[in-house]
Amino acid sequence: MRYALLGDIHGNTEALSVVLAAIRESQVDKIVCLGDVVGYGAEPVACLTMIRDLNCDVIAGNHDWAAVGKLSIDCFNAYAKAAAIWTREQLDEEQKAWLADLPLTLVYDHCAVAHGTFHQPEAFNYIQTVFDAQQSFEALKGMNARLGFLGHSHVPVGFFDTDPITYTLDPEMPVDQDLAMIVNAGSVGQPRDENNKASFALFDSDANQVNIVRLDYDIDAAAAKIRAVGLPEILAARLYQGK
């Protein structure tokens, strides 16, 4: 079975359009959105519509819930807070209700998904240490899964449940059926690994292979839209920097 896993779209229709075109060409069996459809970018409603039109599975991201008041924005930095408030004003009540009802995790035959971590998905924390990774590997085991996909950090990376835990930044990741693995699919609309290309993951369960796909998109257009609606300039500038 072929899966496409994409997340952290963040209101960027230019990036999302390019990614969805590539996914269609890849002839996948299932599309899963790893959360944060909205936030930061200038077109939250358009991105939400594009994702919903796919009839794909979607889990909640912190910016999705922040935009509907289900998650406090007190811990957000000033730019993220401004974007969350602005995004909230763009959504109608039906769209807010849809975002508020999104689940935190999903489990499939071949993998599980969450936005930030598997061990505390409601906290929207990051895997930043070996201890964080170990906790998520333990939670993944409790979900009867050996492969997990995340978003949230905007950095594509694979973690392996070795002793000690190891990781790879290689875009091609073989899946060992005897070794648990957590893959961050990166970000469609706001990459942060100093590579400004849109990022998503393809997983082939028959070939036991995960590939991180990077694609160019029209950054100028996405940045111009951010400036046009009056969102903070840094949200436009960082698209070019990939961080």
- Please check whether residue 113 is in contact with residue 59, taking contact to mean a CB–CB distance below 8 angstroms: yes
Dist CA 38 CA 19 (whole Å):
16
What pTM does this model have?
0.96
For the chain, list residues with pLDDT below 50.
none
In this structure, CATH architecture of domain 2-241: 4-Layer Sandwich (3.60)
- Helices 233-241, 78-90: inter-axial angle, 10-degree rounding: 110
Q: Where are the domains of the chain?
A: 2-241
pLDDT of residue 186: 97
pLDDT of residue 39: 96
pLDDT in tens, 234-243: 999 999 999 8
pLDDT of residue 128: 83
